Amino acid sequence: MLEALKKEVYEANMLLPEYGLVTFTWGNVSGIDRERGLFVIKPSGVEYDLLKPEDMVVVDLCGNKVEGEYNPSSDTATHVVLYNRFPKVGGIVHTHSTWATSWAQSGRGIPCYGTTHADYLYGEVPCVRNLTKEEIDEAYEKNTGTLIADEFEKRNLDYIATPAVLCKNHGPFTWGKDAMEAVHNAVVLEEVGKMAANCEMIQPKAQAAPQELQDKHYYRKHGANAYYGQINRGGV
């Protein structure tokens, strides 16, 4: 079942080592078929070199494995919550990529220091707090997803405009309209995290980019008035 989606999610997973975002098996990508309410995710702890499209695991929105020889990613319960709480999301990525994880470990969100950031991620990339011992003991992965979604609500963030989050002392999640876009955003986040750290090293008092510049770049690429790329050109 879901052969085309499995192939797409497999290919999206294989981009993680290609883009230098993962060491060993430290990452996972999923993609969802919203009509059927099923998503496809990487199996847990299987090496990328050995991965095949048919190894992808099918999971429903209650977190039950529907098909697959392997156990799904140990982070599956986080994906389940995010798909339920963020209904427009079509793909999710988790990595331990170097710079995004370094920011997560520091407990700080990534300020929007420039247009590279603003082109893809509206405003600061938030860093959510640690789970409490009770939350960890009760259901660690599920509560990670719940915390992310709750924080986006509480901070009044639009998860479409800001498709990335850092979990304190852990690492990043990114998402998008499908698995490929979620990987794209994971690459952007890593590069943006590296440049933000460099920027503060060069100028410890660096300020976020002016709001009008952030808006200009974000809306140059997104929404009704976008004019970047070949968006308004028929057939491309």
Known catalytic membership, residue 60: no
- Shortest Cβ 115–a copy of itself spacing (Å): 5
Query: With binding defined as CB under 8 A, does residue 50 bind a copy of itself?
Result: no
Query: With binding defined as CB under 8 A, does residue 179 bind a copy of itself?
Result: no
- Shortest Cβ 46–a copy of itself spacing (Å): 7
Going from the C-alpha of 45 to that of each of 13, 25, 71, 123, the distances in angstroms are: 13, 6, 9, 34
Distance of CA 155 to the CA centre of its chain: 18
Considering only residues 86 to 145 of the shown chain, the ones binding a copy of itself according to CB under 8 A are 96, 98-99, 101-108, 113-116, 130-131, 133, 136-137, 140
Q: Which stretch binds a copy of itself (CB under 8 A): 8-16, 31-39, 86-94, 223-231?
A: 223-231
Residue spans of beta strands (DSSP E) within the chain: 27-33, 38-41, 57-60, 65-67, 91-95, 127-128, 164-167, 171-176
∠ CA 30-102-9, nearest 5°, is: 10
Query: With binding defined as CB under 8 A, does residue 24 bind a copy of itself?
Result: yes
Buried b (16+ CB within 10 A) or exposed e, 204-217: eeeebbeeeebeeb
Which member of 137, 158, 215, 228 is catalytic? 228
Query: With binding defined as CB under 8 A, does residue 195 bind a copy of itself?
Result: yes
- The DSSP bridge partners found for residue 161 are none
Nearest CA to 25 out of 70, 64, 69, 84 is that of 70
d(CA 234, CA 229): 12
Which member of 119, 140, 150, 219 is catalytic? 119
Q: Which stretch binds a copy of itself (CB under 8 A): 79-87, 153-161, 173-181, 185-193?
A: 185-193
Contacts of residue 34, Cβ cutoff 8 Å, sequence gap at least 6: 87, 90
Q: Which stretch binds a copy of itself (CB under 8 A): 3-11, 30-38, 145-153, 180-188?
A: 180-188
Query: Which of 156, 207, 224, 234 touches a copy of itself by CB under 8 A?
Result: 207
Residue entry with tokens 């690459």: 187
- Shortest Cβ 162–a copy of itself spacing (Å): 18
- H/E element, 198: helix 179-202
Q: For a copy of itself, which is the closer residue by CB, 37 or 198?
A: 198
Maximum Cα–Cα distance across the chain: 54
Query: Which of 36, 65, 142, 194 touches a copy of itself by CB under 8 A?
Result: 194
Query: With binding defined as CB under 8 A, does residue 222 bind a copy of itself?
Result: no
Known catalytic membership, residue 228: yes
Q: For a copy of itself, which is the closer residue by CB, 32 or 166?
A: 166
Q: Which residues are catalytic?
A: 119, 228
